[in-house]
Chain A
Amino acid sequence: MKAAFALAAIAALGVGSASAQEWKPTKPVEFVGAAGPGGGTDIFARNVQAIIQKYNLVDQPILVSNKGGGSGAEAFVYVKAAAGDPHKLVFGTSNLYTLPMVAKVAFKHTDFVPVAAMVFDEFILWNKGDSPYDDYKSYTAAAKAANGTFKMAGALSKDTDQTLTRYIEKDTGAKFIYIPYKSGGEASVQLSGGHAHSHVNNPSESVGHWKAGQVKPLCVFSKERMPQGPKVTETKGWSDIPTCKEQGSGIEEYKMPRTVALPPGSPPAAAEFWANVLKKVSETPEWKDYLEKTSQTGRFMAGAELKAFIDEDEKRTRKVYEEEGWLVN
């Protein structure tokens, strides 16, 4: 406790000088994860909490709670109800702005005060380990020839995985039967068992099955290859996966941001305070470690940059949803 106190003093100095307008949490803080325990969002929130506590970046206790009901809608509704109280932060993904489009929920993304996007999770097109296809073009061509009988497994309905599937369909003219499961992990097992032809999981969701050779990555939906790292299988590491663009896909990039937002009506000084804290988190070695272990891309965005990103991504997604007839709001 005493050591923690000393650290707190040092950290407080740093935070104090960073923000001109003073706002500080005056009571315990709650990080609300918009997903069940154990998922990507939960691990994200818990890592942020652990790092904040380790470096004592905030001198109030922080609790992490999981409100994954309604695909995360529960968390957003809960934080919206805490209007004007910047002691509750909601940790989510792009579902912050995509969920209100497809489900009849009582919030809009503009209700919240966005604080930061800290990481981007990659999407990879996976096939079963022994599938005859090795790249984007040959696989989608086969899917097209199969006349809409290829099955694409994915996590949830009308969420990132299904959206990306639609992008692929538009790009190549292939048609997939999209089968929604509760999580990417389940989708990965279905692919390993040969019950689907492909899925577009995030790296961390399928790494175990890749190691065992049950699934194999075809390409990553990113502008550049993923960073160099240790080998995952005997011969390949993440950086050996070609980008889909290299393989002639028309999809430039598809990533999912992990976002943090404050309740409606939170003062700008509070948003600035949290953005500063999260910025510091993103500069620690522990954060680098987390990114590497989960094979995500770190990219810190806050303020106007974040707002512009959300607006643009929201518009783009809205267009696809409109074409698919998914829009309810």
Chain B
Amino acid sequence: MTERALVSRTTMEVVTALATAAIGAAVMWGSIEHDIGWGDSGPAAGYFPFRIGVLIVLGSFVNLAVALWRRGTQDVFLTAEQAKRVLAFGLPILAFVVLSLFLGLYVGAILYLSAVMVFQGGYRLLPSLTLGVAVAVAMRLIFPMWFKVPLLTGPLEAWLGLY
């Protein structure tokens, strides 16, 4: 681990422990709207969730303490090089999700697939687009046509009168 750390392991451990603690707190908060006791007929609706929440918070604090106690060690979570690779793959996924939410999964898939092929795979535009469209056609055949499972559609499909 000689590479320069972009994110240290300690930082990430702390962030994660805080996140799990927050979930635990949310679970506790959500369960107190129910009875959290052990009544005549056994545990009430909130009994288990509340205790699970408490234990998650306690466990998270232990993890937090351990992480802070070990902060001297210079372990790396993510180097700059790794981050670049993960983002190069992860950001297009994010873009795909956002695009799909507005334009539907078909258009999203065509744009995402062909863009990744062109910019990361170094393929030319035409074959990339062809493959993207082929995948969209396959999606359409398999999901709504054969198996009657409609996929998320957008304005383009509405304009074409497809569903």
- Residue numbers of A with Cβ under 8 A of B are 27-28, 63, 177
Contact = CB atoms under 8 A, between A and B. Distances in A.
Interface string B106-120: 000000000000000
B41 A28 contact: no
A27 B163 contact: yes
B129 to A, nearest CB: 29
Interface string B133-163: 0000000000000001010000000000001
Contacts of B148: 63
Interface of B: 41, 148, 150, 163
Contacts of B163: 27-28
Contacts of A28: 163
A318 B163 CA distance: 41
The 4 closest A-B pairs by CB, nearest first: A28-B163, A63-B148, A27-B163, A63-B150
5 contacts: A27-B163, A28-B163, A63-B148, A63-B150, A177-B41
A63 B150 CA distance: 9
Nearest to B41: A177
A198 B41 CA distance: 19
A27 B148 CA distance: 15
A70 to B, nearest CB: 14
Nearest to A27: B163
A27 B150 CA distance: 13
A177 B39 CA distance: 14
Contacts of A63: 148, 150
A195 to B, nearest CB: 16
B140 to A, nearest CB: 14
Contacts of A27: 163
Nearest to A87: B163
Nearest to B158: A27
Nearest to A30: B150
A177 B40 CA distance: 11
A63 B41 CA distance: 43
Nearest to A28: B163
Nearest to B45: A157
A28 B41 CA distance: 49
A308 B41 CA distance: 39
A107 B150 CA distance: 25
A177 B41 CA distance: 9
Contacts of A177: 41
Nearest to A177: B41
Nearest to A178: B41
A63 B151 CA distance: 13
Nearest to A104: B33
B37 to A, nearest CB: 16
Nearest to A328: B33
Nearest to B33: A104
Contacts of B41: 177
A28 B150 CA distance: 11
A28 B148 CA distance: 11
B156 to A, nearest CB: 16
